[in-house]
Chain A
Amino acid sequence: MERDVIRKVPLVKPGEPGMIVEEAPTEELAGYPSVGRRIPRRDTIFQVLGQLKYINDLSFPGMLYAKVLRSRYAHARILRVDVSKALEVPGVVAAITADDIPVNSFGPSLQDQPVLAKDKVRHMGDGIAAVAAVSEQIAEEALEKIVVEYEPLPVVLDPLEAMREDAPRIHEPRSNIYWEWHIRKGDVEKALAEAHLVVQERYRTQMVEHVSMETHSSIAMWDAGGRLTVWCTVGRITLARTDLARILQVPVSRVRVVSTQLGGNFGGKNEITIEPVLAILAKKTGRPVKGTYSRKEEFIASTTRHPFIMEYTSGVTAEGRIIARKVRLIADGGAYCSWSETTLGKATILSAGPYDIPNIALDGYVVYTNKPMTGAMRGFGAPQVCFAYESHMDTIAHRLGMDPLQIRLLNAYDEGSISATGQILHSVALKKTLLAAAERFGWEVKER
Chain B
Amino acid sequence: MKHFEYFSAHSAEEAVALLQKYSPDALPIAGGTELLVRMKQNLIHPKVLVDITHVPEFQGIALTEEGLRIGSLVTHAEVAASPLVRQFAPAVAAASGSVGAVQTRNLGTLGGNLVSCVPSIDSAPALLVLEAQAVVFGVNGRRQFPLTELFVGPRCSSLTPAELLEAVIIPRHNLGKPTCFSKFGRRKALTIALVNAAACVETNPERTHFSQVRLALGAVAPTPIRAYTAEAYLAGRPIAQEVLLEAGRLAAEDAKPIDDFRASAEYRRHLIGVLTRRVIEGALAGMPKV
Chains A and B directly touch (beta carbon < 8 Å): yes
**A141 close to chain B: CB less than 8 A:** yes
> Closest residue of chain B to A294, judged by CB?
B40
CA distance A141 to B1 in the complex (A): 9
From 167 to 211 in chain B, residues with beta carbon under 8 angstroms from any chain A beta carbon are: none
**B289 close to chain A: CB less than 8 A:** no
Q: How many pairs of residues, A versus B, come closer than 8 Å at their CB atoms?
A: 4
Total count of chain B residues near the partner, CB < 8 A = 3
CB distance from B228 to the nearest CB of A (A): 39
CA distance A137 to B39 in the complex (A): 13
User: Which residues of chain A are near B2, meaning CB under 8 Å?
Assistant: 137, 141
From 271 to 310 in chain A, residues with beta carbon under 8 angstroms from any chain B beta carbon are: none
User: What does the 1/0 interface line of B1-24 toward A look like (CB < 8 Å)?
Assistant: 111000000000000000000000
User: Which residues of chain A are near B1, meaning CB under 8 Å?
Assistant: 137
CA distance A141 to B2 in the complex (A): 8
CB distance from A153 to the nearest CB of B (A): 24
Total count of chain A residues near the partner, CB < 8 A = 2
CB distance from B6 to the nearest CB of A (A): 15
CB distance from A271 to the nearest CB of B (A): 28
> Closest residue of chain A to B2, judged by CB?
A141
CB distance from B210 to the nearest CB of A (A): 44
From 123 to 160 in chain A, residues with beta carbon under 8 angstroms from any chain B beta carbon are: 137, 141
CB distance from A89 to the nearest CB of B (A): 13
CB distance from B36 to the nearest CB of A (A): 14
CA distance A137 to B2 in the complex (A): 7
CB distance from A157 to the nearest CB of B (A): 14
> Closest residue of chain A to B1, judged by CB?
A137
User: Which residues of chain B are near A141, meaning CB under 8 Å?
Assistant: 2
CA distance A143 to B1 in the complex (A): 13
CA distance A376 to B2 in the complex (A): 36
> Closest residue of chain A to B41, judged by CB?
A296
User: Which residues of chain B are near A137, meaning CB under 8 Å?
Assistant: 1-3
> Closest residue of chain A to B40, judged by CB?
A294
CB distance from B97 to the nearest CB of A (A): 26
CA distance A141 to B3 in the complex (A): 10
User: Which residues of chain A are near B3, meaning CB under 8 Å?
Assistant: 137
> Closest residue of chain B to A141, judged by CB?
B2
CB distance from A354 to the nearest CB of B (A): 32
CB distance from A207 to the nearest CB of B (A): 13
CB distance from A378 to the nearest CB of B (A): 21
CA distance A62 to B141 in the complex (A): 53
CA distance A124 to B230 in the complex (A): 45
CA distance A209 to B2 in the complex (A): 29
CA distance A137 to B3 in the complex (A): 9
CA distance A364 to B288 in the complex (A): 64
CB distance from A272 to the nearest CB of B (A): 27
CA distance A403 to B41 in the complex (A): 52
CA distance A137 to B4 in the complex (A): 13
CB distance from A91 to the nearest CB of B (A): 12
User: What does the 1/0 interface line of B110-123 toward A look like (CB < 8 Å)?
Assistant: 00000000000000
CB distance from A73 to the nearest CB of B (A): 18
CA distance A137 to B40 in the complex (A): 11
CB distance from A307 to the nearest CB of B (A): 15
User: What does the 1/0 interface line of A430-441 toward B look like (CB < 8 Å)?
Assistant: 000000000000
From 38 to 89 in chain A, residues with beta carbon under 8 angstroms from any chain B beta carbon are: none
From 141 to 188 in chain A, residues with beta carbon under 8 angstroms from any chain B beta carbon are: 141
CA distance A137 to B42 in the complex (A): 12
> Closest residue of chain B to A144, judged by CB?
B42
CA distance A32 to B3 in the complex (A): 59
CB distance from B35 to the nearest CB of A (A): 18
CB distance from A293 to the nearest CB of B (A): 15
CB distance from B261 to the nearest CB of A (A): 12
CA distance A411 to B3 in the complex (A): 65
User: What does the 1/0 interface line of B21-52 toward A look like (CB < 8 Å)?
Assistant: 00000000000000000000000000000000
CB distance from B48 to the nearest CB of A (A): 18
User: What does the 1/0 interface line of A92-121 toward B look like (CB < 8 Å)?
Assistant: 000000000000000000000000000000
> Closest residue of chain A to B3, judged by CB?
A137
CB distance from B55 to the nearest CB of A (A): 29
CB distance from B3 to the nearest CB of A (A): 8
CA distance A383 to B2 in the complex (A): 42
CA distance A55 to B213 in the complex (A): 58
CA distance A2 to B3 in the complex (A): 69
CB distance from A162 to the nearest CB of B (A): 21
CA distance A141 to B45 in the complex (A): 12
CB distance from B213 to the nearest CB of A (A): 41
CB distance from B157 to the nearest CB of A (A): 28
CB distance from B44 to the nearest CB of A (A): 15
CB distance from B269 to the nearest CB of A (A): 25
CA distance A136 to B1 in the complex (A): 10
CA distance A447 to B77 in the complex (A): 52
CB distance from A143 to the nearest CB of B (A): 10
> Closest residue of chain B to A296, judged by CB?
B41
CB distance from B49 to the nearest CB of A (A): 16
CB distance from A72 to the nearest CB of B (A): 13
Chain A residues with CB under 8 Å of chain B are: 137, 141
4 intermolecular pairs with C-beta atoms under 8 Å apart: A137-B1, A137-B2, A137-B3, A141-B2
**In the complex, the 4 A-B pairs of residues with the closest C-beta atoms, listed nearest first:** A141-B2, A137-B1, A137-B2, A137-B3
